Amino acid sequence: MPTDVLMPALSPTMEEGKLSRWLKKEGDAVRSGDVIAEIETDKATMEVEAVDEGVLARILVPEGAEGVKVNTPIAVIAAEGEDVSAAAKQAGTAKAEAPANAGSAEAAKPDAAEAPGSDVAPRRPAEPVQAETELPEGVKTVTITVREALRDAMAEEMRLNENVFVMGEEVAEYQGAYKVTQGLLQEFGARRVVDTPITEHGFAGLGVGAAFAGLRPVVEFMTFNFAMQAIDHIINSAAKTLYMSGGQISCPIVFRGPNGAASRVAAQHSQDYSSWYSHVPGLTVIAPFTAADAKGLLKAAIRSPNPVVFLENEILYGQSFPVPDVEDWIVPIGKARIARPGEHVTIVAWSHAMFHALEAAETLAADGIEAEVIDLRTLRPLDAETIVESVRKTGRCVVVEEGWPQAGMGAEISARIMEEAFDYLDAPVTRVSGKDVPMPYAANLEKLALPSAAEVVEAARAVCYR
């Protein structure tokens, strides 16, 4: 059976082109891979190679023809042993061999594309809301630092699951640059507590590979500022692969370490990455404030089959909080916590900014303004429901964020409130954020660059018109 050679598309956007030259003439033998013609598009001159073998029976489109539409038959190839003149007579009626029974892209249109309205994305399915988890009533607690809570979370999960291991710079012999991994090497040995060279891009990628292959890496970045060298693996390799593999390859990895400003370490060591990572579908982003949440959420993160970015805070490491003294304290991912109930204004914060939110709430209370303080705990998935429910009650919202304002978490939360609680608002949603500058070094300037309780009080008063 003779085969039509069709005008090929040589780029995703090509619709037509010029047939500039034939390199074979009628009657020539053609082998698979032979260049038979040259085509000129608006971008380049390209070669057309034969896929089928046989004899070039007839040329249908002459040299120099312009505006030849993609998929137009341009020649006929007769199969080996076939009558060339008979094949040539059938010119233009032959079916292209591939795909069988589908000579044109038109005929090959897939079924699903026929569905009416298929250009409109279907609605995102609702995500189930998880249960609220306050510290259980009457539970026995112990007071420990956030640093100890994080260490305990890792140690407990390592005891439970042989596949959990910790890697990063100075996590083993040095006992952790911020002592978060203290004692892990002694308990679990060098096989499971791995000191890496200073090679963030490399070990982030290596961790992703280990996770693809079934391990549960906990990758420590000395600070998230250094993770910018590794961000390609966090996003392109870890976050997107489940989707790109049609659900085949999961990446159960935790990237953790201190995030945001510490004290007097200037612009390159003080960035808050909350909004950067929370932008990315496929990632889960957690930023705890209390030791109980740090422990319960890190354990949940290590158990999660998803890549998790776990944003800690250096100043919080030494802060002490009560933590339930129970065997397996887990805090569900994706659920905010109402840290202080109130009815006049909602204050949303997370991680270190919770100090400003809670201090501001105290000050406001003295003035008769009862603020409801929400600790987000998880930034992605964002517990918009808890925020919206609170705003429907208070009619006012102040978001406190240590990062920069543009495209920040505050901007996102503000948009969500507008979408879901616009009619309940009695004042514009207000952001108290890090100032729109690289972090300065000088003590006074650094203080000015970061949000403060006083700024939160001022913003809350403004939205309450007080």
Partner 1 sequence: MAADVKTASPPALSREEELEAYRVMLLIRRFEEKAGQMYGMGLIGGFCHLYIGQEAVVVGMHMATKEGDQNITGYRDHGHMLVMGMDPKGVMAELTGRRGGYSRGKGGSMHMFSTEKKFYGGHGIVGAQVPIGAGIAFANRYQNNGAVCLAYFGDGAANQGQVYETFNMAELWKLPVVFIIENNRYAMGTAVSRASAQTDFSKRGVSFNIPGEQVDGMDIRAVKEAGERAVAWARDGKGPYILEMQTYRYRGHSMSDPAKYRTRDEVEKMRTEHDAIEQARQRLLGEHGLSEDELKKVDADIRRIVNEAADFATHDPEPDPSELWTDVTLPHDGPRA
Question: What is the footprint of partner 1 within residues 103-142 (CB under 8 A)?
Answer: 104-105, 108, 110-113, 115, 118, 121-122, 124-125
286 or 369, CB closer to partner 1?
A: 286
Examine the residue annotation and report whether 49 is marked as an active-site residue of this protein.
Answer: no
Write down the least CB distance from residue 200 to partner 1, Å.
8
Single residue of 142, 243, 268, 419 touching partner 1 by CB under 8 A: 243
196 contacts partner 1 (rule: CB under 8 A): yes
Alpha-carbon distance of 148 to 169, in angstroms, equals 19
193 or 400, CB closer to partner 1?
A: 193
Separate counts of helices (H) and strands (E) for the chain: 13, 22
Write down the least CB distance from residue 244 to partner 1, Å.
4
Single residue of 63, 66, 132, 232 touching partner 1 by CB under 8 A: 232
Which among 6, 17, 77 has a CA at the least distance from the CA of 46?
A: 17
Q: Which stretch binds partner 1 (CB under 8 A): 30-38, 347-355, 409-417, 422-430?
A: 30-38
Binders of partner 1 in range 64-83 (CB under 8 A): 70-71
Which among 25, 165, 22, 147 has a CA at the least distance from the CA of 84?
A: 25
Write down the least CB distance from residue 281 to partner 1, Å.
5
Write down the least CB distance from residue 248 to partner 1, Å.
5
Which among 412, 398, 408 has a CA at the least distance from the CA of 347?
A: 398
Asked if the bond preceding 381 is cis, omega within 30° of 0, the reply is yes
Which candidate in 156, 220, 269, 356 is catalytic? Answer: 269
Cross-sheet strand order for the sheet of 16-22:
45-49, 35-40, 16-22, 65-69
208 contacts partner 1 (rule: CB under 8 A): yes
210 contacts partner 1 (rule: CB under 8 A): yes
Which among 194, 227, 252 has a CA at the least distance from the CA of 312?
A: 227
Write down the least CB distance from residue 358 to partner 1, Å.
27
285 contacts partner 1 (rule: CB under 8 A): no
Single residue of 27, 28, 29, 32 touching partner 1 by CB under 8 A: 32
Single residue of 249, 266, 267, 326 touching partner 1 by CB under 8 A: 249
Alpha-carbon distance of 410 to 348, in angstroms, equals 9
Residues with Cβ < 8 Å from 342, sequence gap 6 or more? 361, 369, 370, 371, 372, 373, 394
Strands 45-49 and 54-59: unpaired
Which candidate in 148, 157, 169, 200 is catalytic? Answer: 200
Examine the residue annotation and report whether 200 is marked as an active-site residue of this protein.
Answer: yes
Alpha-carbon distance of 400 to 430, in angstroms, equals 9
Active site residues: 200, 269
